[in-house]
């Protein structure tokens, strides 16, 4: 269990779940906690969340498979979500997406060999004003260019390596 | 042995011969009809029993004899039993007056080749051919079936309608021959048959005989698509067979009559007279079969219309014209 | 009441009806998937497009989402809406596989019908198709996700309506997947309903897998015989075998759905040992011979010992007609010794319900529409599963539900559970009726105050009770409570769960007659020489199997009419085979007194799968159908009395004799049935059941309880239910377990007056102290623990203790 | 008689050609039938002379196999539903690969009218009609053919077709492995 969730966080979540009138509302919170700790949510993570919240694994899984920011498959240390919605696309996101694939040497959904980056497309990030945009972890980057991407990747790689 | 006894013996021999010839003739006429119809429809017809299907009549007889003789529950039994016989017998009787060859000399006696050369042969024939309808009418009545009854009634109506035309078409023949005896009529046609001398009478007679014998296109009494099988709907087995035989004997008799009245009977060159006679009868039978293979059945109203409004006036006119002509020629 | 015009026809509908339903009322059926009368409209499939020409809304709209309003003018046949429907069905069909020939739904597939009805007859999409991997959903349901069209009906049925939590919808976008978290059996006892709900072949009945096409199956509207609720079912047979059961529609009882016991528990009629030939003294014989023998032996006994020497036992699973004829046979012989249920407590409870329930009886629909529910001494999921579902529908609307029961009553919905020992239940009822609440413990008193308060505030409260723990006296008290709580303006309805599908009818017929206990005494005393059992097995049915066995041994003649290979049928001197429910017609009176007609779906006979030995059927021509000897019990009973009666005659005779059943002969199959008229004289007050308190150190009061699939007489013979039968276990409160230092899951030894059995222990946190519970499981050592008998004194020891 | 003449007037008065047409119509058929009498009959003298039926002739029914040699019949009951004389009966079953097949399949040829509706209904091309028509017997039970009697080791009229390669339920190929399918969807994929 400890490799899924540290005991203290587990206990805190469990205590909160008992207080909660509708523990279902905490599903994302618990899944994010597991994901923050483990990097992604394995099947055992879903079951653990169920245990904490008093729900069946399926009820957790319904939510977990619905949101694309909850990873049900292993990912790298940093997950790049590239926006492929219309606003970004009209500002050349498609090319940047291809550039990212080229630079990282992976296709969408894959993880780089060193396990640093996973590249995923996503629908709107809400950053249409700064299109084209992408998000790494919880950090959003707008007004992307090739140079900026190189820069960001370098920084992130350095941070991830540290 | 007295002449009388010999006469009786000869008559019996002739009767036997005629019976045998007529019955086998009728049986083979059935076969011939089926074969000819088959060929008209580009089939073979029955050809499985014996060579060329020659044994088919025998097989048919065996089949008919072994079939169940079915009698409807509410049938008038005596009449039901008698009717088919009546149909066959009246047909047979008519042949008594048919001369099929000139008298031949046998053991120094002149033997007339006719069972009975009545001097009112024509009237006898007309009478018997009308009687033939009794079998049909009674059979239809006795079956207690609406189809059979309708068939019988139609048969009666049809006979009455065409008997008239038939009789009237014979008047010119009698006028021309000057006799009621069939032998005399035959002799009167040497060398030119009446068919050529009076084609109108010939045609009217031909049509009327077809109607008399209920042949297609005049088979209204047994019209299958309306009346199932008409007057013999309820008959089965040999009783049905008797109706059948009666019909084909009738065909032979009428063929003989046509031969006698219009085709010059036995008269013909080279071949012996009896062969000529049979050849002519067979030719007429062929025409009947041919007609069956060609023409569709008339509607009932058309039949009546044709008989009353066409044939009778035509034959009446023909009587007048022939009489006038004969008077003019002789006068 | 709005009046609207659809396709130039006017219709007036109830307020709140949607336009799709309104059109259906006119006979205009527009293709639709997601809308289901029980599940409601969600407007997801986009198929029921209609053109709204005039009225509050205009244009092409989804008819199921729009409430019928006055002055609406709608067309369904115009080009625009037709084209819309054709396009939508084409999209839905885009990924649909090409496997109708190997799909069990083929022929009764709504998708097939709607595709054709929607005007999509040729596939234009030539690209690749999306596929899915399937899950193993257990022994009842087959999964084939490729056929899915994402109508969400399964989830709405399983989660929303039935309250299942282990099946749902996963993924998003093009990957929407309907399934479980992992492979495994669907846990809800109502899981089979997704087979009926799925409009295509994603979920199919595994027990019916690849057996028969819809057009070959013989079906007829029938009534489920597994419990007393009288749910409408549609059994289907082919090749002389009951192959499946579908849910029927009866809005007053089950609504649209049925439980898994009803759906998969139909195999009792196909039991390989089912006796199908009459037997005299163990030897098979012909019908005339058997009937003659039975008549002769009974006349002889009557002549020798008087009519009292012959006793009769009817059955709550036999039709009303058969029970009535048994009664009239007994009367014609002059014997007054007839009982209709071998279980004394069930018999008495049914009589109380039949005599006193009257207009206060709640139907399942009343429960669905109620606004407060109190369940006392009833365990719906095990005793009457569809009751649990009805209760859930009320709870879904926000209705409060209180459960007072010692058992850990599991429900597909939230409930306030007050676990009280069975002995306390009469006190509770008394307290509810206005008695002294303080007799109970403090905690209980507080909770009960709350319940009482809500009960008084509710407008349409319903009390629900069962006979197993309350007993006849308790049921009577429950009815009194309801009477006291009700006022002229505020009804307080009651539902009493009874033992069998026709318990109520038997209760009416039994009136003041003797019960089986009296007959048993007569048999033991030697006064009764013969017993005729109609579709009942006193050996397992009575509350004391051992005593019954002894009494049966003393009989000179035991005659049995049955379709099950019961012990009584096996030991009977004279046996006459009868037809099972799907093979016969008749009437059941359900627990609220509703007369429900069932009709025969198929003829009896040895299934081809049996006579053919699994291979192709034998290549012979027989004049008779093999194994077709069973005759309806009513026909046999009529014959035995020398009367040639049709069902109609019998029903008219019943109406004449018992005016309660007025309207019986005018019932039609497939309808909602008809409540019996309440004009029977109230029965004598049932004797009090003493609840003796146990003495002695370490002695527990052991109560037997019903099990969903293991307890019912019919369910016990249905092989398909085997996966649902638990292994024997005993339930013990946490405190008692701790005292004995036993833990959950441990193998323990259960010792009682019936002997010792090794079972698994289940520790239940809030079971009252001093109480242990066992499920009655047929075919196991726990078979002889009969629910509703009172308690057994027992001891629970760990295996080691037992050895020492 | 005057009335009779009126009839002829009414009928032929307007168009004298009609009379000619009627006469011709009565006489000409005699020529037609006479001419036919001398043509060769079309009849085949069956037991001696046998005719070769066309490949699509509808006679004895067979069950064919797919190119891999598996039974094509999936026991979908469509043939028995289509059969107007109810001469086909079967029981479907499932083998260990999930393939639906007929546990037993029976055609009662003494009832069959060779209408071909079964072959037309068959979605997998399993049931096919053959031109083998010399097919009769005296014992009705011997005309009841079981699956073993009906199965042939051939694909019949379309040798290439294999239903399971198109059905998309993973019997002939793994699920999603047919050429017109994507591989199975992964619900837990991170890709949206």
The structural domain count of chain A equals: 2
- The arithmetic mean of pLDDT across residues B160-176, rounded, is 86
Task: Give residue A33's domain range.
Answer: 7-64
Nearest to B295 by CA among B42, B37, B32, B31: B37
Query: Can you state the angle between helices A57-64 and A43-53, rounded to 10 degrees?
Result: 120
Q: Where are the beta strands (DSSP E) in C251-410?
A: 279-280, 283-284, 310-313, 338-339, 372-376, 400-404
Residue with tokens 């093009």: C174
Q: Where are the beta strands (DSSP E) in C479-593?
A: 493-496, 530-534, 557-562, 574-577, 586-589
Is D105 domain-assigned?
A: yes
End-to-end, the C-alpha distance of chain C in Å comes to: 78
- Check whether residue A156 and residue A111 sit in a common domain: yes
Which top CATH class is C279-343+504-675? alpha beta
Q: What percent of chain A has pLDDT over 70?
A: 98
ipTM over 0.90 threshold: no
Pairing of β C416-418 and β C400-404: parallel
Q: Is residue C689 predicted with pLDDT exceeding 60? A: no
- For residues C631 and C277, give the distance between their C-alpha atoms in angstroms, rounded to a whole number: 10
- Check whether residue D26 and residue D83 sit in a common domain: no
The structural domain count of chain D equals: 2
Q: Is residue B47 predicted with pLDDT exceeding 90? A: no
Q: Do chains A and D touch (3 or more CB pairs under 8 A)?
A: yes
Q: How many CB pairs under 8 A join A and C?
A: 33
Residue with tokens 């207080």: A19
Is A104 domain-assigned?
A: yes
Mean pLDDT taken over chain B: 82
Nearest to C775 by CA among C431, C471, C418, C383: C383
Secondary structure (3-state) at C534 = strand
Secondary structure (3-state) at C574 = strand
Task: Give residue D27's domain range.
Answer: 2-37
The gap from C-alpha B173 to its chain's centroid, in whole angstroms, comes to 18
- Check whether residue A96 and residue A132 sit in a common domain: yes
- The arithmetic mean of pLDDT across residues C256-279, rounded, is 92
Provide the pLDDT for residue C679: 66
Is D23 domain-assigned?
A: yes
- Nearest CB among D78, D91, D182 relative to C130 is that of D182
- Check whether residue A58 and residue A112 sit in a common domain: no
- For residues C692 and C686, give the distance between their C-alpha atoms in angstroms, rounded to a whole number: 18
Is D127 domain-assigned?
A: yes
> At which of A39, A64, A89 does a domain end?
A64
- The arithmetic mean of pLDDT across residues D87-96, rounded, is 90
Closest-CA distance, D157 to chain C, in angstroms, reads 20
Is A2 domain-assigned?
A: no
Question: Is some CB atom of chain A closer than 8 A to the CB atom of C125?
Answer: no
Per-residue pLDDT tens over the stretch C299-325: 999 999 999 899 999 999 999 999 999
- For residues C781 and C766, give the distance between their C-alpha atoms in angstroms, rounded to a whole number: 26
Q: Where along chain C do its domains lie?
A: 3-92, 128-270, 279-343+504-675, 359-498, 700-803
- Nearest CB among C170, C172, C175 relative to A61 is that of C170
Is A134 domain-assigned?
A: yes
Per-residue pLDDT tens over the stretch B87-114: 778 877 877 777 877 777 776 777 777 7
Provide the pLDDT for residue B253: 83
Mean pLDDT taken over chain A: 90
Question: Is some CB atom of chain C closer than 8 A to the CB atom of A65?
Answer: yes
Per-residue pLDDT tens over the stretch C659-680: 889 889 888 888 899 998 876 5
Look up residue C736 and give its two tokens: 């008692």
- For residues C798 and C743, give the distance between their C-alpha atoms in angstroms, rounded to a whole number: 10
Q: Are D87 and D107 in contact (CB under 8 A)?
A: yes
Is A1 domain-assigned?
A: no
Q: Are C246 and C228 in contact (CB under 8 A)?
A: no
- The arithmetic mean of pLDDT across residues C241-263, rounded, is 93
Integer CA distances (angstroms), C689 to C344, C404, C422, C510, C785, in order: 11, 19, 12, 20, 18
- For residues C657 and C328, give the distance between their C-alpha atoms in angstroms, rounded to a whole number: 10
Q: What is the DSSP letter of C159?
A: I
What count of other Cβ atoms lies within 10 Å of the Cβ of residue B63? 12
- The arithmetic mean of pLDDT across residues D48-58, rounded, is 88
Look up residue D14 and give its two tokens: 């307007």
Per-residue pLDDT tens over the stretch C527-582: 999 999 999 999 888 888 888 999 999 999 999 999 999 999 999 999 999 999 99
Interface touch B310/D4, C-beta < 8 Å: yes
- Check whether residue D70 and residue D111 sit in a common domain: yes
Choosing among 2.40.40.20, 1.10.3470.10, 2.60.40.10, 2.50.20.10, the CATH entry for C700-803 is 2.40.40.20
Is D55 domain-assigned?
A: no
- Check whether residue D98 and residue D149 sit in a common domain: yes
End-to-end, the C-alpha distance of chain D in Å comes to: 101
- For residues C709 and C261, give the distance between their C-alpha atoms in angstroms, rounded to a whole number: 6
Provide the pLDDT for residue C542: 87
Q: Is residue D4 predicted with pLDDT exceeding 60? A: no
- For residues C774 and C787, give the distance between their C-alpha atoms in angstroms, rounded to a whole number: 9
> At which of A20, A41, A64 does a domain end?
A64
- Check whether residue D106 and residue D29 sit in a common domain: no
- Check whether residue A82 and residue A107 sit in a common domain: yes
Residues of chain A neighbouring C170 (CB-CB closer than 8 A):
61-62, 65-66
Q: Which of A87-101, B208-222, C630-644, C753-767 has the lowest mean pLDDT?
A: B208-222
Q: Are A44 and A81 in contact (CB under 8 A)?
A: no
In the stretch 100-129 of chain A, residues with CB closer than 8 A to chain C read none
Interface touch C98/D167, C-beta < 8 Å: yes
What count of other Cβ atoms lies within 10 Å of the Cβ of residue C649? 14
Confidence of residue C213 (pLDDT cuts 50, 70, 90): very high
Look up residue D11 and give its two tokens: 């009928």
Which top CATH class is C359-498? alpha beta
Cis peptide before A132 (omega within 30 of 0): yes
Q: Is residue C647 predicted with pLDDT exceeding 50? A: yes
Q: What is the DSSP letter of C192?
A: T
Mapping DSSP onto H, E and C, the string for chain B reads: CCHHHHHHHHHHHHHHHHHHHHHHHHHHHHHHHHHHHHHHCCCCCCCCCCHHHCCHHHHHHHHHHHCCCCCCCCCCHHHHHHHHHHHHHHHHHHHHHCCCEEEEEECCEEEEECCCCCCCHHHHHHHHHHHHHHHHHHHHHHCCCHHHHHHHHHHHHHHHHHHHHHHHHHHHHHHHHCCCCHHHHHHHCCCCCHHHHCHHHHHHHHHHHHHHCCCCCCCHHHCHHHHCCHHHCCCCHHHHHHHHHHHHHHHHHHHHHHHHHHCCCCCCCCCCHHHHHHHHHHHHHHHHHHHHHHCCCCCHHHHHHHHHHHHHHHHHHHHHHHHHHHHHHHC
- For residues C761 and C744, give the distance between their C-alpha atoms in angstroms, rounded to a whole number: 6
Burial grade of C721 (CB within 10 A; 0-12, 13-18, 19 or more): buried
Mean pLDDT taken over chain D: 86
- The arithmetic mean of pLDDT across residues C55-71, rounded, is 91
Provide the pLDDT for residue C681: 62
- Check whether residue A42 and residue A102 sit in a common domain: no
- Supply the CATH number for residue A27's domain: 1.10.10
- Check whether residue A34 and residue A96 sit in a common domain: no
Q: Is residue B223 predicted with pLDDT exceeding 50? A: yes
Q: Is residue C692 predicted with pLDDT exceeding 50? A: no
Q: Is residue C206 predicted with pLDDT exceeding 90? A: yes
Q: What percent of chain D has pLDDT over 90?
A: 33
- For residues C747 and C759, give the distance between their C-alpha atoms in angstroms, rounded to a whole number: 6
Residues of chain C neighbouring D148 (CB-CB closer than 8 A):
none
Which top CATH class is C3-92? alpha beta
Interface touch D4/B313, C-beta < 8 Å: yes
- For residues C727 and C759, give the distance between their C-alpha atoms in angstroms, rounded to a whole number: 8
Mapping DSSP onto H, E and C, the string for C722-754 reads: HHHCCCCEEEEEHHHHHHCCCCCCCEEEEEECC
Provide the pLDDT for residue C561: 95
Q: Is residue B81 predicted with pLDDT exceeding 70? A: yes
Confidence of residue C691 (pLDDT cuts 50, 70, 90): very low
- For residues D90 and D146, give the distance between their C-alpha atoms in angstroms, rounded to a whole number: 9
What count of other Cβ atoms lies within 10 Å of the Cβ of residue A112? 17
Interface touch B36/D37, C-beta < 8 Å: yes
Provide the pLDDT for residue A45: 93
Look up residue A60 and give its two tokens: 């957790």
Q: Is residue D13 predicted with pLDDT exceeding 70? A: no
Query: Can you state the angle between helices C647-657 and C633-640, rounded to 10 degrees?
Result: 70
Q: What is the DSSP letter of C157?
A: I
Look up residue D170 and give its two tokens: 């993973």
- Check whether residue A48 and residue A115 sit in a common domain: no
- Check whether residue D26 and residue D109 sit in a common domain: no
- Check whether residue D26 and residue D85 sit in a common domain: no
Interface touch D41/B42, C-beta < 8 Å: yes
Higher pLDDT, C692 or C720: C720
Interface touch D4/B41, C-beta < 8 Å: no
The gap from C-alpha B234 to its chain's centroid, in whole angstroms, comes to 24
Mean pLDDT taken over chain C: 89
Residues of chain D neighbouring B39 (CB-CB closer than 8 A):
36-38, 41
Is A119 domain-assigned?
A: yes
Is D66 domain-assigned?
A: yes
Provide the pLDDT for residue C690: 52
- Nearest CB among A43, A56, A66 relative to C166 is that of A56
Interface touch D42/B43, C-beta < 8 Å: yes
Non-local CB neighbours of A87 within 8 Å, separated by 6+ positions: A124, A128, A131
- The arithmetic mean of pLDDT across residues B315-331, rounded, is 86
Pairing of β C586-589 and β C594-598: antiparallel
Non-local CB neighbours of A137 within 8 Å, separated by 6+ positions: A78, A79
In the stretch 180-199 of chain C, residues with CB closer than 8 A to chain A read 180-182
- Supply the CATH number for residue A138's domain: 3.40.30.10
- For residues C507 and C351, give the distance between their C-alpha atoms in angstroms, rounded to a whole number: 4
What count of other Cβ atoms lies within 10 Å of the Cβ of residue C77? 11
Cα diameter, chain D: 106
Query: Residue D90 is inside which H or E element, if any?
Result: strand D88-94
Non-local CB neighbours of B237 within 8 Å, separated by 6+ positions: B64, B65, B67, B68, B69, B70
Q: Are C11 and C24 in contact (CB under 8 A)?
A: no
Provide the pLDDT for residue D98: 85
- For residues D47 and C459, give the distance between their C-alpha atoms in angstroms, rounded to a whole number: 90
- For residues C601 and B8, give the distance between their C-alpha atoms in angstroms, rounded to a whole number: 85
Is A34 domain-assigned?
A: yes
- Supply the CATH number for residue D138's domain: 3.30.70.3270
Confidence of residue A162 (pLDDT cuts 50, 70, 90): low
């Amino acid at each position: 269990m400890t490799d899924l969730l540290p005991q203290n966080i587990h206990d805190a979540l469990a205590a909160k779940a008992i207080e909660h009138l509708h523990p279902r509302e905490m599903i994302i919170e618990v899944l994010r906690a597991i994901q923050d700790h483990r990097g992604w949510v394995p099947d055992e993570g879903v079951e653990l969340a169920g245990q904490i919240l008093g729900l069946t694994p399926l009820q957790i899984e319904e939510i977990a498979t619905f949101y694309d920011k909850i990873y049900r498959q292993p990912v790298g240390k940093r997950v790049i979500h590239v926006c492929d919605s219309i606003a970004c696309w009209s500002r050349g996101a498609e090319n940047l997406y291809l550039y990212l694939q080229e630079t990282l040497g992976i296709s969408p959904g894959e993880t780089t060999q060193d396990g640093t980056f996973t590249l995923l497309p996503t629908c709107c990030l809400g950053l249409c004003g700064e299109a084209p945009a992408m998000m790494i972890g919880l950090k959003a980057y707008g007004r992307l260019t090739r140079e900026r991407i190189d820069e960001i990747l370098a920084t992130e790689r350095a941070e991830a390596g540290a | 042995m007295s002449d009388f006894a010999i006469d009786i013996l000869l008559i019996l021999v002739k009767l036997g011969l005629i019976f045998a010839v007529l019955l086998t003739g009728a049986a083979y006429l059935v076969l011939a009809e089926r074969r000819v119809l088959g060929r008209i429809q580009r089939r073979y017809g029955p050809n499985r029993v014996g060579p060329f299907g020659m044994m088919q009549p025998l097989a048919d007889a065996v089949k008919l004899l072994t079939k169940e003789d079915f009698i409807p529950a509410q049938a008038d039994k005596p009449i039901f039993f008698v009717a088919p016989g009546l149909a066959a017998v009246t047909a047979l009787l008519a042949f008594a007056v048919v001369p099929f060859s000139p008298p031949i000399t046998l053991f120094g006696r002149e033997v007339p080749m006719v069972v009975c050369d009545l001097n009112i042969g024509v009237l006898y024939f007309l009478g018997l051919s009308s009687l033939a309808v009794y079998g049909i009418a009674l059979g239809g009545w006795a079956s207690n079936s609406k189809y059979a009854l309708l068939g019988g009634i139609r048969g009666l109506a049809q006979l009455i309608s065409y008997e008239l035309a038939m009789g009237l078409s014979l008047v010119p023949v009698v006028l021309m021959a000057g006799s009621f005896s069939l032998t005399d009529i035959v002799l009167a046609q040497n060398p030119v048959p009446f068919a050529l001398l009076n084609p109108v009478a010939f045609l009217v007679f031909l049509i009327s005989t077809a109607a008399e014998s209920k042949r297609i296109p005049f088979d209204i009494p047994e019209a299958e698509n309306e009346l199932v099988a008409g007057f013999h709907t309820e008959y089965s087995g040999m009783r049905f067979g008797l109706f059948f035989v009666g019909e084909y004997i009738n065909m032979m008799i009428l063929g003989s009559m046509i031969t006698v009245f219009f085709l010059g009977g036995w008269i013909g060159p080279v071949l012996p007279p009896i062969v000529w006679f049979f050849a002519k009868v067979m030719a007429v039978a062929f025409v009947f079969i041919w007609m069956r293979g060609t023409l569709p059945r008339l509607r009932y109203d058309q039949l009546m219309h044709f008989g009353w409004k066409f044939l009778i006036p035509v034959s009446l006119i023909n009587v007048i014209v022939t009489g006038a002509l004969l008077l003019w020629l002789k006068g | 009441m709005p009046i609207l015009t659809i396709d130039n026809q006017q219709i007036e509908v109830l307020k709140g009806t949607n336009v799709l339903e309104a059109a259906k009322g006119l006979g205009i059926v527009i293709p639709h998937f997601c809308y289901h009368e029980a599940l409601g409209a969600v407007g997801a499939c986009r198929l029921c497009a209609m053109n709204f020409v005039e009225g509050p809304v205009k244009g092409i709209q989804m008819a199921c989402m729009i409430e019928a309003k006055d002055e609406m003018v709608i067309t369904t046949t115009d080009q625009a809406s037709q084209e819309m429907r054709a396009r939508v069905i084409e999209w839905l069909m885009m990924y649909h596989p090409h496997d109708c020939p190997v799909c069990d739904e083929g022929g009764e597939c709504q998708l097939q019908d709607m595709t054709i009805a929607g005007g999509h007859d040729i596939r234009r999409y030539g690209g690749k198709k999306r596929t899915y991997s399937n899950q193993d959903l257990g022994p009842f349901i087959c999964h084939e996700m490729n056929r899915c069209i994402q109508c969400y009906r399964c989830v709405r049925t399983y989660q929303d309506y039935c309250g299942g939590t282990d099946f749902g919808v996963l993924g998003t976008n093009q990957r929407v997947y309907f399934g479980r978290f992992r492979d495994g059996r669907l846990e809800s006892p109502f899981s089979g309903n997704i087979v009926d709900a799925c409009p295509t072949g994603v979920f199919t009945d595994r027990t019916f897998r690849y057996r028969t096409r819809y057009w070959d199956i013989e079906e007829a509207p029938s009534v489920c015989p597994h419990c007393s609720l009288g749910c409408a079912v549609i059994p289907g047979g082919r090749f002389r075998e009951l192959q499946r059961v579908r849910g029927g529609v009866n809005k007053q009882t089950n609504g649209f759905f049925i439980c898994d016991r009803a759906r998969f528990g139909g195999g009792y009629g196909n039991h390989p040992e089912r006796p199908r030939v009459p037997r005299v003294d163990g030897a098979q014989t012909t019908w005339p011979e058997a009937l003659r023998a039975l008549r002769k032996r009974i006349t002889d006994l009557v002549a020798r010992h008087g009519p009292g020497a012959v006793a009769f036992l009817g059955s709550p699973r036999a039709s009303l007609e058969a029970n009535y004829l048994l009664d009239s046979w007994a009367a014609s012989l002059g014997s007054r010794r007839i009982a209709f249920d071998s279980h004394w407590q069930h018999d008495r409870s049914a009589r109380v319900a039949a005599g006193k329930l009257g207009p206060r009886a709640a139907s399942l629909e009343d429960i669905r529409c109620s606004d407060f529910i109190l369940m006392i001494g009833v365990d719906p999921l095990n005793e009457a599963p569809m009751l649990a579902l009805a209760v859930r529908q009320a709870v879904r609307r926000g209705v409060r539900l209180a459960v007072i029961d010692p058992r850990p009553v599991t429900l597909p919905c939230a409930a306030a559970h007050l676990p009280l020992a069975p002995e306390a239940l009469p006190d509770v009822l008394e307290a509810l009726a206005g008695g002294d609440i303080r007799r109970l413990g403090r905690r209980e008193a507080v909770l009960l105050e709350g319940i009482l308060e809500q009960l008084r505030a509710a407008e349409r409260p319903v009390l629900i009770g069962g006979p197993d723990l309350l007993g006849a006296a308790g049921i009577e008290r429950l009815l009194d409570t309801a009477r006291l709580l009700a006022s002229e303006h505020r009804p307080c309805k009651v539902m009493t769960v009874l033992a069998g599908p026709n318990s109520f009818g038997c209760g009416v017929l039994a009136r003041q007659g003797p019960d089986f206990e009296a007959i048993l005494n007569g048999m033991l005393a030697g006064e009764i020489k013969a017993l005729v059992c109609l579709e009942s097995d006193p050996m397992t049915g009575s509350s004391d199997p051992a005593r019954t066995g002894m009494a049966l041994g003393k009989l000179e003649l035991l005659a049995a009419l049955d379709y099950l290979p019961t012990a009584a049928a096996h030991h009977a001197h004279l046996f006459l085979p009868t037809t099972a429910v799907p093979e016969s017609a008749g009437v059941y009176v359900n627990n609220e007194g509703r007369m429900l007609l069932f009709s025969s779906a198929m003829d009896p006979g040895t299934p081809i799968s049996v006579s053919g030995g699994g291979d192709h059927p034998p290549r012979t021509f027989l004049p008779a159908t093999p194994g077709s000897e069973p005759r309806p019990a009513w026909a046999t009973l009529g014959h035995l009395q020398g009367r040639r009666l049709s069902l109609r005659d019998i029903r008219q005779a019943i109406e004449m004799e018992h005016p309660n059943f007025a309207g019986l002969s005018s019932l039609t199959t497939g309808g909602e049935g008809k409540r019996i008229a309440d004009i029977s004289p109230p029965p004598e007050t049932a004797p009090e059941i003493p609840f003796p308190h146990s003495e002695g150190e370490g002695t527990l009061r052991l109560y037997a309880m019903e099990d969903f699939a293991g307890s019912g007489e019919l369910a016990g013979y249905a092989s398909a239910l085997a996966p649902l039968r638990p292994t024997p276990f005993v339930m013990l409160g946490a405190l008692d377990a701790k005292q004995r230092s036993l833990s959950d899951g441990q193998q323990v030894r259960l010792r009682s007056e019936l002997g010792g059995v090794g079972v698994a222990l289940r520790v239940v946190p809030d079971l009252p102290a001093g109480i242990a519970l066992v499920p009655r499981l047929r075919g196991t050592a726990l078979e002889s623990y009969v629910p509703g008998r009172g308690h057994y004194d027992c001891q629970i020891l760990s295996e080691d203790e037992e050895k020492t | 008689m005057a009335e009779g003449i009126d009839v002829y007037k009414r009928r032929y008065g307007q168009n004298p050609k009609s009379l000619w047409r009627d006469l011709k119509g009565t006489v000409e058929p005699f020529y037609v039938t006479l001419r036919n009498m001398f043509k060769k009959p079309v009849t085949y003298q069956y037991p001696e002379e046998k005719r070769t039926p066309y490949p699509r002739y509808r006679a004895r029914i067979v069950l064919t196999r797919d190119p891999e040699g598996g039974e094509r019949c999936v026991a979908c009951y469509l043939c028995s539903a289509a059969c107007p004389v109810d001469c086909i009966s079967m029981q479907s079953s499932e083998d260990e690969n999930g393939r639906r097949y007929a546990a037993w399949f029976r055609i009662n040829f003494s009832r069959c009218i060779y209408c071909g509706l079964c072959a037309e209904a068959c979605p997998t091309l399993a049931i096919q009609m053959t031109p083998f028509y010399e097919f009769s017997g005296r014992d009705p039970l011997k005309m009841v053919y079981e699956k073993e009697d009906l199965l042939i080791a051939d694909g019949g009229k379309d040798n290439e077709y294999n239903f399971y390669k198109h059905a998309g339920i993973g019997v002939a190929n793994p699920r999603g492995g047919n050429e017109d399918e994507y591989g199975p969807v992964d619900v837990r994929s991170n890709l949206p």
